[in-house]
Amino acid sequence: MAYQYKNLNINKLTIIGAGQIGPDICLHFAKVFVNDNVEFVIIDISPEALANAKTKIEKKISKGVETGAFKTDMAEVMKKSITYSSDYNLVKGSAIVLEAATEDDRIKDLIFKQVEALTDDSCLFLSNSSHMQPEVIFRNIANKKRCLVTHYFFPADRNPVVEVVPGKDTDPKITTTLLGFYEAIGKVPIEVGSSYGYAIDPIFEGLCELAILCLEKGYGTIKEIDKIAQVTLKQGVGPFTALNLTGGNPITNHGLEEMRETHIAWFRSPKTLQEATANKTLWDTAKRGEEVIVSPEKAEVLRKQFLGGYFALCCYIIDLGITNVNDLDMAAEMALVVASPFTLMNKIGINESHQLVKDWCAEHTEFPFPKSLDKAKAEGGWKVSRIVAKKQDNVAVLTIRRPQVLNALNLAVLTNLKEEISKAENDSNTTAIVITGFGTKAFVSGADINMLAALKTPEEGYDNSHTFQQLINTIEKCKKPTVCALNGFAFGGGNELAITCTARVAKKGLPVVACQPEANLGFIPGSGGTQRLPRLVGVDVAAEILRTARPVSGKEALEIGLIDKEIDGDLVEGAVEYAKKLATGEIQPRKFSTNGTHENLAPKEINIGHLSKKIDHIMNKAIYDGIKLPLNEALELESKLFGECILTDDMKIGLNNFLTNGPRAKAEFTHK
């Protein structure tokens, strides 16, 4: 038994390096492969490091049992799957060897030369370097086609981002396989060109350098700088706190000095950082709960420093040409827990952002003004999209990618999707379209709840529903067949998007493939759910699903006609084949009536439990009055009734309960 991803067969995986990050990488692998009987080996020459690694991993697993993340038997399997050893012979038989040793090219070279002698050419060589280029690390390896850098971020078992960095000799097919593999095991990989520090670390270390320069210039104290940086850039923690938490002084000190040679002269380790590194001292950051008050004058100086510096650093990475705006916007937010840079520039305003960077570069004269920012200003802002568009066998594959919110929909995402559908529809070489979601958990987790909670009047509710409907209607109006490939659950707006497609396929065996949870939150669907679902699966079947807000499994979805096929194997490949058959007429789409019915239909008695009777009344009106109308008129009715929900107490109660207590807590509806 082993883990299989396409042509990658993993029965044994070795981690070399039992320091800070190696054990966390191993823990993640052990968790995701817990049912695949994969053998893991952690190798280190230090018995103390191995002992510490075992203690660290088992402590985290035990904590997982306490919190309910792991069942007891699962925890035992994970613990038993890992061997800790200093014997390099245990590398033999590994499908992957991932090195996570000291950031020293001589040590890495020595490790991989040993590994090369013990493995065959099918074994992938990965290095979790944080800075060094693959051409340097693997310079003495005979078969460089299977060698890449995979840069994890702290903490590696929980931080989803992995930079995948191929060298000039890496086989592109292996890079593509590795990107898909990481997505399949729950990570968020981005491909980055070979460059010292890759895409993310120059930003992180540049912000740390900037914080220390602000300290040396007297712009604020450590605590003040940390606070304003955190607030301004919406960071999880400020730069000084981040350095303390990650033990990052030595590697940042070294990285900045190297980047002065490999990048631009602005990068350098400030004197204060050199001293802290030499003395092994931590930064005097605020204690938990300590209030830090910063004068408005200081705060404004620091705000401009961090906005100007952050934007300049991110634009500099784009100028290098090693990644793209969409990947960096997403990865910076997720890896560093910081505001998405290009989205933030657009929000502030491209002209103001341009001026902030211009003023900052005037002070930091060794930092060249980024050419990409000039271009963005000329174009009226950054073009940021959450849709990844690719072509496979003349079929456009559009992936909704917002992993930080399980691909939740907002108006920007739907606008991006509309643009990509229009491009595919107008491309004579494109025969069909597949729409899927990033990752393995969710196709789309629903609409952005904060956006819905901000609606205050029936008019705002109507406009929101109507706008969403118009964007989703783009799919229905498309002249080419569209197939929704459900890689995970489709909640709320996700299911409404799916049922607008020509057909739906789902990954086989999904315990939950769809749900319209709106009644749980105190409102009705507003993007076509009350109108298209009854026309697809039958009025009474749809009404029960909508009124109870219960989930539907893949098996049931196939039985009731919500999906057309379950795919056993690669979902996207299966969806592409299905789309091609729709395009040629080999498969006919399921019948879907846009006309109203003259049947005398009325709501049936069902048990809605604790759910709002007020909202249930509105829901029934939408379903049973709507089915009698042509679809365009029925959608208009749904938008009006969605707006009516805004006036109810129960919508406020439902949304507040969700935002305060989470999705599993039952709202105490008053039925008003």
Asked, for residue 431, whether it belongs to a domain, the answer is yes
Q: Are residues 568 and 630 in the same domain?
A: yes
How confident is the model over 542-565, as pLDDT tens digits? 999 999 999 999 999 999 999 999
Helix spans in 263-324 (H): 271-279, 296-320
Query: Locate tokens 């299977």: which residue?
Result: 146
Q: How many contiguous H segments (helices) and E segments (strands) does the chain have? A: 29, 19
Asked, for residue 166, whether it belongs to a domain, the answer is yes
- Number of domains present in the structure of the chain: 3
Annotation says 518 is catalytic: yes
How confident is the model over 477-508, as pLDDT tens digits? 999 999 999 999 999 999 999 999 999 999 99
Tell which of 167, 191, 215 closes a domain.
191
Residue 152, pLDDT score: 97
Say if CB 356 and CB 294 are below 8 A apart: no
Q: Are residues 107 and 210 in the same domain?
A: no
Percent of the chain with pLDDT over 90: 94
Annotation says 352 is catalytic: no
Residue 533, pLDDT score: 97
How confident is the model over 630-647, as pLDDT tens digits? 999 999 999 999 999 999
Q: Are residues 355 and 416 in the same domain?
A: no
Residue 362, pLDDT score: 98
Q: Are residues 309 and 428 in the same domain?
A: no
Asked, for residue 488, whether it belongs to a domain, the answer is yes
Tell which of 157, 191, 225 closes a domain.
191
Q: Model pTM?
A: 0.93
Say if CB 653 and CB 668 are below 8 A apart: yes
Q: Are residues 487 and 596 in the same domain?
A: yes
Query: DSSP secondary structure string, 599-634?
Result: S---PPP---TTS-HHHHHHHHIIIIIHTTS-HHHH
Asked, for residue 448, whether it belongs to a domain, the answer is yes
Q: For residue 104, how many other CB atoms are within 10 A of its CB?
A: 11
Tell me the pLDDT band of 342, cut-offs 50, 70 and 90. Answer: very high
Query: What is the C-alpha separation between 56 and 59, in angstroms, rounded?
Result: 5
The CATH number for 274's domain is 1.10.1040.50
Q: Is the pLDDT of residue 1 over 80?
A: no
Q: Are residues 214 and 363 in the same domain?
A: yes
* Both tokens assigned to 398: 């559009």
Q: Are residues 170 and 296 in the same domain?
A: no
Q: Are residues 342 and 395 in the same domain?
A: no
* φ, ψ (nearest 5 deg) of residue 263: -120, -105
* Both tokens assigned to 437: 């979601």
The CATH number for 643's domain is 3.90.226.10
CA geometry: angle 267, 270, 271, nearest 5 deg: 150
Asked, for residue 618, whether it belongs to a domain, the answer is yes
Query: DSSP secondary structure string, 528-592?
Result: SHHHHHHHHH-HHHHHHHHHHT--B-HHHHHHHTS-SEEESS-HHHHHHHHHHHHHHTSSPPPP-
Q: Are residues 532 and 494 in the same domain?
A: yes
How confident is the model over 291-306, as pLDDT tens digits? 999 999 999 999 999 9
Q: Are residues 463 and 569 in the same domain?
A: yes
Say if CB 310 and CB 209 are below 8 A apart: no
Say if CB 480 and CB 559 are below 8 A apart: no
Q: Is the pLDDT of residue 397 over 90?
A: yes
Residue 602, pLDDT score: 87
Q: Are residues 404 and 374 in the same domain?
A: no
From the list 205, 496, 577, 638, the catalytic residue is 496
Average pLDDT over residues 206-227: 98
Q: Is the pLDDT of residue 23 over 80?
A: yes
Average pLDDT over residues 103-120: 96
Q: Is the pLDDT of residue 432 over 80?
A: yes
- The one-letter amino acid at 490: A
Query: What is the C-alpha separation between 586 and 579, in angstroms, rounded?
Result: 10
Nearest to 341 by CA among 234, 212, 206: 234
Q: Are residues 401 and 352 in the same domain?
A: no
Mean residue pLDDT across the chain? 96
N- to C-terminal Cα distance for the chain? Answer: 56
Residue 596, pLDDT score: 82
Tell which of 359, 378, 397 closes a domain.
378
From the list 205, 333, 420, 518, the catalytic residue is 518
How confident is the model over 522-544, as pLDDT tens digits? 999 999 999 999 999 999 999 99
Residue 663, pLDDT score: 85
Query: Locate tokens 């930091």: which residue?
Result: 364
Supply the range of the domain harboring residue 114: 3-191
Tell me the pLDDT band of 408, cut-offs 50, 70 and 90. Answer: very high
